Amino acid sequence: MPRPLVILLHGTRFNARSWDGYADLVDADVRAVDLPGHGVRAGQPWTTDAALAVIDDEVATVTPDTPVVLVGHSLGGFIATTWAQRHPDALAGLVLVGAMADPRRHRILTRAYTDFARLLPVVGPQRMASIANTVLRVMGMRGDAIPDATGYAVAPDAWHSVVSEAGCHQLPDVSCPVWLVAGALDQLAIDTRRYARACQDPRIVVVRSATHLLPFTHSRQLAEVINEAAGVVAAA
């Protein structure tokens, strides 16, 4: 069997650099990609279909017998879930990190994100980045992982697609094992057990003291989960 392909999808405002170092920690063919409006695709407008096409392009580069594990953080996790819903038998493993909150069930949470998106054009991406990045630094983010204004500009469209489409209703037909990785302090892991009930083969992993920035602050713990997913795939 070919070596598993692990595709890493970043969260809103971030880019593929979010996953720097993971290639050294994960025993697989690891590829971190930029979603539309982020990183090398900064000039590309956000649509759900454009984001899904990024995954399509990566999957198309390997042979049909190559096991594919999709890993998504936050926005990347919601997009990974949508891709899995549309290709329910195509994945060997799905790892969702801080992407287990159903917008339809939490009006306050949804309102917070939609209000942020509504404010962004008024305040401007540059100023919003300066304000929001201060919070990210307090939460433990450092260095190149801090997003620039480019990623903030696309946030309203990206969040609209999540609020409109995301939810655990997407998971029942997905046939592969699904790892639900939740920071104990992550607001976007509030529906982890509900998501697990919707999966055919769920695995819940809770990381103590971790926030929504788990991939940045607890990279070794997350890499262990990804290695477990790739290992289960390789042994199948």
Domain coordinates of the chain in residue numbers?
A: 5-235
Query: pLDDT digit string (tens) for 10-44?
Result: 999 899 999 999 999 999 999 999 999 999 999 89
CATH classification (class only), 5-235: alpha beta
Task: Note the pLDDT tens digit of each residue in 58-110.
Answer: 999 999 999 999 999 999 999 999 999 999 999 999 999 999 998 878 776 77
Task: Convert the chain into a string of H (helix), E (strand) and C (coil).
Answer: CCCCEEEEECCCCCCHHHHCCHHHHCCCEEEEECCCCCHHHCCCCCCHHHHHHHHHHHHCCCCCCCCEEEEEECHHHHHHHHHHHHCCCCCCEEEEECCCCCHHHCHHHHHHHHHHHHHHHHHCHHHHHHHHHHHHHHCCCCHHHCCCHHHHHCHHHHHHHHHHHCCHHHCCCCCCCEEEEEECCCHHHCCHHHHHHHCCCEEEEEECCCCCCHHHHCHHHHHHHHHHHHHHHHHC
pTM of the predicted protein model: 0.90
